[in-house]
Amino acid sequence: MSCLPEFFWRDRRHAGKRLARYVLLCLVVLGGCVGGLLAEPHTPHGRAPEAQPRFAISFGSEMSATPLDGRVYVVISTTNDPEPRFQILEEEAKSQQIFGADVDGLAPGQNAIIADDALGYPVANFRNVPAGDYWVQGVFNKYTTFHRADGHTVKLPMDEGEGQHWDSKPGNFYSVPERMHIDPASGATLQIHLTKVVAPIQPAKDTEWVKHIRMKSEALTKFWGRPMYVGAIVVIPEGWASHPNAHYPLVVDHGHFPHDFNGFRTTPPGPDLSGNSLERAQSQFKFYQDWTTGKLPHMLLLLVQHANPYYDDSYAVDSANVGPYGEAINRELIPYVEKEFRGIGQGWARATYGGSTGGWETLATQIFYPDDFNGAWGACPDPVDFHAYQTVNIYEDKNAYWSIGPFGRVAQPEMRTPPGIVLATTEGTNQWELVLGTHGRSGEQWDIWQAVFSPVGADGYPAEIWDQRTGVINHEVAEYWRQHYDLTAIMQRDWKTLGPKLVGKLHVMVGTADTFFLDHAVHLMQASMEGSANPHYVPDFDYGVDQPHCYTGPPGSTTREGGMTFTQRVMKASEAWMLKTAPRGADTTSWRY
């Protein structure tokens, strides 16, 4: 999960694009198991005899001269504004319809078949789609084959600079939306031709204040068996060029994939803006003014670009499935940035902050690299205690989708409004992700948590924390999660050596009406820390009363208000702590001009 620069909403929609994303599940083959869809000339063995082909999707040789692997989707929509592919939403009641299937070696001119037994979202079965006239669009999300260092070969969607979005990934094929009549009672197969290609994204340009870096990671290249890169957006402080002997502290802004730095604007807002847009623009312009006139501490601000084959973000830790991103960021990228831009390059002079996904990364970075950072401000963090994995207790619950009693059961909610209205369920959002991609390849939230936290499964893909069809939890996998990524459990286990290195460094903020129930885990972390000893240390916990996701403080503010000043507040607080804790002889003057 994440907060955009506006800190208003979880970035798994990422500026609205992640809201457009509900792809369907794989064709059911081999006795009801999810399997890969073959090209039309090869009928999948074992398909139930009643299954009928409903969509035939193809591309011409002008699109690709060679066969391709990936996943095909058909999106069915009641409207064409925006295009159907952008209308697949996490909220079931608001989403349009999608079906999908895996393809291996789909050649030009061949048809990929989506049959009426394929899983869909939000309607699971094609036979239950109401007959009528709809806008229909096809999309092909292309996969790359990786021969990993652990001996596994996997097929995954390579990020192409868009931040892992199937509906807007450069190089993906799609069709022009067409008005079609759909009637499950008929035996018709609808033909869809993919004739469009998503255009490349132009790289962001350097400015006086903002610089961009793309570097090859040796650790990730070795793991994935092909060249892999991480990126950095560096905002340099006022006076950097005119003070060549100054060296600067570093503040790392963790979060979802940023194409560029949008924290400030260089011109005042015009008369065309009003309401929240005007307020946001005013805060961005003031940030720019304060940054460029020396009203903020002189520090390097770093935003990390670490989109990967599973998600738009790696969670900034080493992982059996996603790779050694903790090493790539903290041992390769950060030292490079500090060398290039005259960072102090010592742990006392580094801090980190972020919200949602970035909030979890912030706290994990401080906990996993306690000597390398000197302060972590984690807002609305993803689950920091897996007893409250959103609303699921993965250690004690038997099923992730239902609270089950002797005679009845209640669906687990996944998303809510501040008054408590449920917008999505855990089962529904897992169905959404399963339709978008089998083997954890949806590019969405549940799948990236599983990819980061799980061991490698026998097939080379992440071991499932629960059965995505039924919700039955695998407690052996849960125990692996506890030992490796449950931040509260890790601090409890290692407090004797870890505790002295964390005192004074942890700051946690969350709304009591967090949209994704993330406040529950924060309360558990606080309760655990209140019982700490030798040393006894309770981090700063700030609970925004009745505030939704992405609450960042300060106390008494709203999520929207606080989000507009989060960076500035962290910079001032981290400077004060650095000066208070700097070792004897440290450079505390060259950057304070």
Distance of CA 502 to the CA centre of its chain: 26
Tell me which of 483, 500, 529 is where a domain ends. Answer: 483
- CB 339 within 8 Å of CB 277: no
Mean pLDDT of the chain: 92
Sequence letter at residue 5: P
215 and 325 together in one domain? yes
Question: Are 35 and 158 found together in one domain?
Answer: yes
**Helix axis angle, 275-292 relative to 566-581, nearest 10°?**
30
Q: Is the pLDDT of residue 350 over 60?
A: yes
Given a contact cutoff of 8 angstroms between Cβ atoms, the answer to whether 37 and 24 are in contact is no
Residue 521, pLDDT score: 98
Kindly state the tokens that stand for 316: 């900034």
Do residues 33 and 166 both lie within one domain?
Answer: yes
| pLDDT for position 51 | 82
pLDDT band at residue 50, thresholds of 50, 70 and 90?
Answer: confident
Residues 84 and 173 in one domain: yes
> Which of 394, 368, 379 is closest to 487 using CA atoms?
368
Task: Flag whether pLDDT at 32 surpasses 50.
Answer: no
**DSSP letter (8 states) at residue 332:** I
Whether residues 510 and 451 share a domain: the answer is no
Residue 335 has pLDDT above 80, yes or no: yes
Over residues 534-581, the pLDDT tens digits come to 999 999 999 999 999 999 999 999 999 999 999 999 999 999 999 999
This prediction's pTM = 0.92
pLDDT digits (tens, 9 = 90+) for 375-392: 999 999 999 999 999 999
pLDDT, residue 46, reads 45
Task: Tell me what the mean pLDDT of segment 474-478 comes to.
Answer: 98
In a domain, 382, yes or no: no
Q: What is the pLDDT of residue 8?
A: 33
- Quote the percentage of the chain above a pLDDT of 90: 91
Q: Is the pLDDT of residue 274 over 90?
A: yes
Considering only CA atoms, which of 438, 423, 365, 415 is closest in space to residue 516? Answer: 415
Between strands 250-254 and 300-305, the pairing is parallel
- Top pLDDT among 35 and 53 is at 53
Same domain, 325 and 239: yes
Q: Are residues 522 and 398 in the same domain?
A: no
Q: Last residue of some domain: 197, 221, 253?
A: 197
Is 558 a member of any domain? yes
Confidence of residue 6 (pLDDT cuts 50, 70, 90): very low
How many domains does the chain contain in total? 4
Instruction: Give, rounded to a whole angstrom, the gap between the first and last alpha carbons of the chain.
Output: 38
Q: Is the pLDDT of residue 9 over 80?
A: no
Note the pLDDT tens digit of each residue in 307-331: 999 999 999 999 999 999 999 999 9
CB-based contacts of 577: which residues, under 8 Å, 6+ apart?
351, 374, 375, 504, 505
Last residue of a domain, one of 457, 483, 509: 483
Burial class (CB in 10 A: 0-12, 13-18, 19+), 536: exposed
Whether 358 is covered by a domain: the verdict is no
3-state SS assignment for residue 510: strand
Whether residues 184 and 324 fall in one domain? no
- Tell me which residue of 5, 13, 7 sits closest to 415, measured CA to CA: 13
pLDDT surpasses 70 at 277: yes
Using CB atoms within 10 Å of the CB of residue 33, give its burial: 0 to 12 exposed, 13 to 18 middle, 19+ buried: exposed
pLDDT digits (tens, 9 = 90+) for 52-75: 999 999 999 999 999 999 999 999
Where b means 16+ CB within 10 Å and e means fewer, 478-497 reads bebbbebbbbbbbbbeebee
The 3 state secondary structure assigned to 445-494 is HHHHHHHHHCCECCCCCECCCECCCCCEECHHHHHHHHHHCCHHHHHHHH
Residues 40, 179 within the same domain: yes
pLDDT in tens, 93-146: 999 999 999 999 999 999 999 999 999 999 999 999 999 999 999 999 999 999
Give mean pLDDT, residues 520-530: 98
**DSSP assignment letter at 562:** H
Q: Is the domain of 38 the same as that of 157?
A: yes
Please give the pLDDT value at position 461.
Answer: 98
The token pair at 212 is 């961009």
The answer to whether the CB of 35 falls within 8 A of the CB of 27 is yes
Structural domain includes residue 407: yes
Looking at the structure, tell me whether residues 162 and 258 fall in a common domain: no
pLDDT over 80 (residue 356):
yes
- Kindly state the percentage of the chain with pLDDT values over 70: 92
Residue 139 in domain = yes
Residue 3 pLDDT exceeds 80: no
Cα(561)–Cα(558) distance, integer angstroms: 5
Full domain range(s) for residue 580: 488-588
What is the predicted pLDDT for the residue at 34?
A: 34
Both 438 and 532 in one domain: the answer is no
Respond yes or no on whether the N-terminal peptide bond of residue 82 is cis (omega within 30° of 0): yes
Averaged pLDDT, 264-284:
94
- With respect to residue 361, please indicate whether it lies within any of the assigned structural domains: no
1 confidence band (pLDDT: 50, 70, 90): confident
Q: For residue 165, is it within any domain?
A: yes
Q: Say how far apart CA 4 and CA 567 lie, in whole Å.
A: 12
Does the residue 414 lie in any domain?
Answer: yes
The closest alpha carbon to 386, from 477, 515, 261, 482, belongs to 482
